[in-house]
Amino acid sequence: MKRPIAMIAGTGRAVPKRTMSNDEFAAIGIETNDEWIRERTGIRLRHVAGEGETLTSLGAEAARVAMQAAGVTAGEIDSIVMATVSPDHLLPSAAVEVQAAIGASRAAAFDVDAACTGWIYGVTVAEGLLATGSAETVLVIGGELLTRIVNWKDRNTCVLFGDGVGAAVLRRATKGRGVLASYLRSDGTLAQLLWRPAGGGVKPASQETIDDGSFFVQMQGREVFKHAVRSMADACDRALDQAKLSADAIDLVIPHQANIRIIEATAKHANVPMEKVYVNVDRYGNTSAGSIPIALDEAIRAGRITDGSTVLFVGFGAGFTWGSLVVKF
Ligand SMILES: CC(C)(COP(=O)(O)OP(=O)(O)OC[C@H]1O[C@@H](n2cnc3c(N)ncnc32)[C@H](O)[C@@H]1OP(=O)(O)O)[C@@H](O)C(=O)NCCC(=O)NCCS
């Protein structure tokens, strides 16, 4: 089927009110400092959900903003695809909770679990729904409350992550605008480099799993770093090849925001100067599935993406999963 099939008609984002600086970790007994975190990751701040802030409440807020930008009502949404690894409840899906919150009563709603690459996966699923005629209007939401599933005693992980949600409304492409290329990959043989060992069927949640930390996110940072750089480079090449575009034709790269050094390595590989790369990891940390759609909404509202812009999205995450999109706006 000939692309473009799906275009991004509107975007939104929502983040918790409270921000936490690197200096605040000392107060909760974490042996770290601002200089270490900034030099290794580029992160200065992250948002942390407080009382009453849930993935559902932030997801609904981001969705409402995206629907308003797209000029569609909740009743027009045919499908809600929600990318997350930190749902408010393990059953049912996060997507149905957002559906109820926004009153999208006609929609089919379900989650996509592809960690930090989740929103890119979600857009590709939405494209398929549009291609088959199963849907005309799809909400693709990506977001997390990662601060609820990290181990606040583990300095290797707790300094890296944050909370936030981004959303986009996808509709049938018009005037040649929309998704020009999509590339998705995964490698489950590497799952244990970034995972939650307990809490599922093999080792159900218990006091022991909380005490030994296996209930929370665990990561081998150095290994993850190497794979992230390699996979993001692969994903850039494949999407550009598929779209038959050279790096010069890209107006903006929106990479997953995990670490400034991974972002810089990706830009260098893709031969794109950093002026053409959107960076907000300093203000959000890694919000996993939220990272790319939050950055997209910021970039649009800041005027970094305008009519006619060609944008390369590239992500990598637990699984491992990785992928990319080229989208014309
Ligand atoms: C996590 C990461 C920042 C660590 O940086 P690094 O340069 O690889 O550092 P290392 O893991 O080698 O650790 C170096 C030392 O710093 C220590 N350290 C770890 N976290 C620390 C922290 N928050 N503050 C201070 N010291 C810390 C380690 O214990 C280690 O000490 P040791 O040498 O005495 O054992 C880096 O590996 C990374 O960004 N990896 C990718 C993570 C990621 O983005 N994951 C999500 C992908 S979607």
Across the range 225-230, mean pLDDT stands at 97
Ligand 1 atom 25 nearest Cα:
32
Please indicate whether residue 256 is annotated as part of the active site.
Answer: yes
For the stretch 1-30, pLDDT in tens is: 899 999 999 999 999 999 999 999 999 999
**Catalytic pick from 22, 47, 116, 259?**
116
Given this structure, which CATH class describes domain 6-176? alpha beta
Report residue 199's pLDDT band, with 50, 70 and 90 as the boundaries. Answer: very high
Q: Which atom of ligand 1 lies nearest, measured to the CA of 25? A: 23
Report how far ligand 1's centroid is from the alpha carbon of 193 (Å): 14
**Catalytic pick from 22, 47, 236, 256?**
256
Report how far ligand 1's centroid is from the alpha carbon of 297 (Å): 30
Report residue 175's pLDDT band, with 50, 70 and 90 as the boundaries. Answer: very high
Instruction: Say what the pLDDT of residue 147 is.
Output: 98
Q: Which CATH code fits 180-328?
A: 3.40.47.10
Q: Which atom of ligand 1 lies nearest, measured to the CA of 288? A: 48
Ligand 1 atom 44 nearest Cα:
258
Instruction: Say what the pLDDT of residue 146 is.
Output: 98
Ligand 1 atom 19 nearest Cα:
156
Range(s) for CATH 3.40.47.10 in the chain? 6-176, 180-328
Instruction: Say what the pLDDT of residue 267 is.
Output: 95
Instruction: Say what the pLDDT of residue 318 is.
Output: 98
Across the range 133-154, mean pLDDT stands at 98
Please indicate whether residue 116 is annotated as part of the active site.
Answer: yes
Report how far ligand 1's centroid is from the alpha carbon of 229 (Å): 16
Best residue for ligand 1 mutational test, from 35, 222, 287 (most atoms within 8 Å of Cβ):
222
As for ligand 1, residues whose beta carbon falls within 6 Å of it are 32, 36-37, 40-41, 116, 155-156, 159, 219, 221-222, 224-225, 228, 258-259, 286, 316-317
Q: Is the pLDDT of residue 188 over 90?
A: yes
Please indicate whether residue 286 is annotated as part of the active site.
Answer: yes
Across the range 49-64, mean pLDDT stands at 98
pTM to 2 decimal places: 0.98
Instruction: Say what the pLDDT of residue 1 is.
Output: 82
Question: Mean pLDDT, the chain, as a whole number?
Answer: 97
Instruction: Say what the pLDDT of residue 229 is.
Output: 96
Across the range 50-54, mean pLDDT stands at 97
Instruction: Say what the pLDDT of residue 152 is.
Output: 97
Q: Is the pLDDT of residue 191 over 90?
A: yes
Instruction: Say what the pLDDT of residue 284 is.
Output: 98
CB-based contacts of 32, cutoff 8 Å, min separation 6:
22, 25, 26, 155, 159
Question: How large a percentage of the chain has pLDDT more than 90?
Answer: 100
